[in-house]
Amino acid sequence: MASLEEIRQNRIEKLNLLQEKGIDPYPIASNQSITCEIARDRFEEFELKSDKHNMVGRILTLREQGKIIFFNFNDGTGNFQALLKSGEPLSEESFGLFQKTFDIGDFVELKGTLFLTKKGEKTILVEEIKMLAKSLRPLPEKWHGLSDIEERFRKRYLDILSNPEVKERFIIRSRMVNLIRQFYLDDGFVEVDLPNLQPLAGGATAAPFATHHNALNIDFYLPVAQELYLKELLVGGMSKVFEIGKRFRNEGIDTAHNPEFTMLESNEAYADAMSQREFIERLFRHVVKSIFSKYEFEYDGEMIDFEPEFEVITFYDILRRYADIEQPEKLNREQATVEAERLGVRVEPEDALEKILDNIYKKTARSKMVQPIFIIDYPVSFNPFAKRKTENPNLIDRFQLVVAGAELVNAFSELNNPLDQKERYTEQDKKGAKGEKEISPSDMEYLEAMEYGMPPNGGIGIGIDRFAMLLTNVKNIKEVILFPTLRPRG
């Protein structure tokens, strides 16, 4: 078997042969009159008329039988078959040049008529063929395949080319995003663009990425969240705003986390957590029904059903039910540490009480939550931007949507009291001084904006990547990110 370098050198020689004959192996122009999809769908019409058509695509297979060559090609809309016959109607010279210089992987332009073979294959009978792009490396199926998972992620172009289900996965993701965007637009929201270079990494309790601007000689941060900017727009009189964009969190990489990910964040004036829960139920049902034509689908061997009303449970009830903690609301940090050790949950010296409780929930309960469920009524320390519950100021009016063990949505009634917000910031700064990295630092410009008056509002964050994982039945976030973060080679 020839080595990869030998194959490459052989193809370069074929490229040189084309150039010697005055043929540009990478021409500027190409002509496509019908796609492979249209040729399949309207085949009977085209065959009856015997019109000539121009088709383009990448050669995927080659079968040579003397003076006849069959090959399959793909233009991105699907596969189609081509037939070359030496001398009829393709010239013997063109046929011979094809034999000498064309390979699997090359992009070609074909001109001919459509017909049905004796075996019933829809085919184009080629009378003219043109090289559009000469490939110098063999495609995976003809070489070694892509068996290494990380290699699939690193060379996503070959992964998509080799595995139709991967391409379909990203088509579903794109459709999902468009459905979500249109749902928001139809509800009266305005889509906005927000800065990715920020003087403070605020809006969420997460460790940021830092960068430096040379001309200004100051550090900036990539966004961990955009909700502060969205809420400033509410101060300015916009009532429904959202952004779908990249977020960056300097955290560990695992099957559920990538340092660069996509989120939708929205804020709606005069809304609260309850109205946002109703909105989320409608949105998720709409997306699922639009993609699957029904409300249920399979994920990891389980049937997930979005039609029934979503279950609702409080955060403390989760700890009672799954962690067997009788009165979780009365735990202090030391007591929570003891419970964590009992349950095999690791506690770091800098972990605050809410971090320990959250880790207990993740270890004992989250994987058991299969059907859509809203978790509500979190302790006030869990989020510095959520409004306190009227009936219990120790809790915040927040919810998360969990499906199949994944947290897909985080939302709450947004805090609009600047004095309360300043107190929350003070608590965050104290945690930061003790070494905790995942805090939201005091943002004085945001506080100033709040003091001009912010309407009551509800905020929503949707993990686009995790929702895509659910809809495409994969358990690794890298499977739904085209180019995930990977360690450099070497």
Token pair for residue 473? Answer: 């039945």
For the chain, the distance separating the N- and C-terminal CA atoms, rounded to the nearest angstrom, is 28
Q: What is the pLDDT of residue 147?
A: 61
In this structure, what are the phi and psi dihedrals at residue 361, rounded to the nearest 5 degrees?
Answer: -60, -45
Q: What is the pLDDT of residue 38?
A: 98
DSSP assignment of 286-328 equals HHHHHHHSSSEEEETTEEEE-SSPPEEEEHHHHHHHHS--S-G
Yes or no: say if 192 and 236 are a contact pair by the CB < 8 Å rule: no
Q: What is the pLDDT of residue 143?
A: 42
Q: What is the pLDDT of residue 267?
A: 98
Task: Please identify, in words, the CATH class of the domain defined by 4-141.
Answer: mainly beta
Among candidates 451, 449, 455, 462, which has minimal Cα distance to 238? 455
Nearest-angstrom CA–CA distance, 331 and 340: 11
Q: What is the pLDDT of residue 226?
A: 95
Residues with Cβ within 8 Å of residue 147, at least 6 apart in sequence: none
Q: Where in the chain is the domain with CATH 3.30.930.10?
A: 161-323+365-480
Question: Which residues of the chain are modeled with pLDDT < 50?
Answer: 142-144
CA distances 235 to 133, 184, 412, 457, Å, are 54, 20, 18, 11
Write out pLDDT tens, residues 64-100. Answer: 999 999 999 999 999 999 999 999 899 999 999 999 9
> Which CATH entry fits the domain spanning 161-323+365-480: 3.30.930.10, 3.40.1160.10, 3.30.420.40, 3.30.70.580?
3.30.930.10
Q: Where in the chain is the domain with CATH 2.40.50.140?
A: 4-141
In this structure, what are the phi and psi dihedrals at residue 70, rounded to the nearest 5 degrees?
Answer: -100, 140
